[in-house]
Structure 1
């Protein structure tokens, strides 16, 4: 059963402007260590890499129905790759707690994430699916 759906469109140039203006402060506040390391390995497309992840965080916050409040913060939502290579989310603290609140008894939550970019836009969709255990 679908429990939540979220999408976001992020301007890559806006992310580059934030990097230029705020630098490490923006990176530390908004992204996990894993996300920062991935962007660092892609110096020519770092802003696009980060913009997709920024969009994923926004899409998740919409899917759980809170936005970035009620304990759901950007750094608690990390984009990682499953063993298959597909992107997914690693959740901690308030983001994980909110997902747990939404999970019906006797179910486990599956997070579907898709990312794309075509300069100057990055886009993410999140679907939260509750599966019977």
Structure 2
């Protein structure tokens, strides 16, 4: 196994709540995927924290990819999804998927590892991208 990227992000839940209050659906639909929206909207008491964790995951992934949000990598190209076990991971599309392909060594397959946590007022995500022989 080879490490090809590592990213970390800390997000203020109250900042996300302010964006939800101020911009509502416009903010949500610009930043989050349909899967992320469906999951976060189910959480009445922790809605802002759910969105904040996902926002932090996007930021951490952009750092792990080595680009940030430039070079064709956009917020909606990175989406938090859950495996059948419930474990979170990331689904990449567009520029983020292209960047992952570009940094994956030939003959190897990339794997994205994600951990999320929150403790009001903070949400944190850590992304580790590894590669293993195909």
2:129 matched to which residue of 1?
A: 128
Q: How many residues matched?
A: 133
Deviation, structure 1 residue 12: 0.3
Deviations 1:64-92 (A, max 9, x none): 11000111101010000012211000111
For 1:98 and 1:2, the matched residues in 2 are separated by 15
Deviation, structure 1 residue 44: 1.3
1:73 matched to which residue of 2?
A: 74
Runs of 4+ off more than 3 Å: none
* TM-score, with structure 1 as normaliser: 0.98
2:62 matched to which residue of 1?
A: 61
Unpaired runs of at least 5, structure 1: none
RMSD: 0.5
For 2:105 and 2:20, the matched residues in 1 are separated by 39
Unpaired runs of at least 5, structure 2: none
For 1:111 and 1:98, the matched residues in 2 are separated by 13
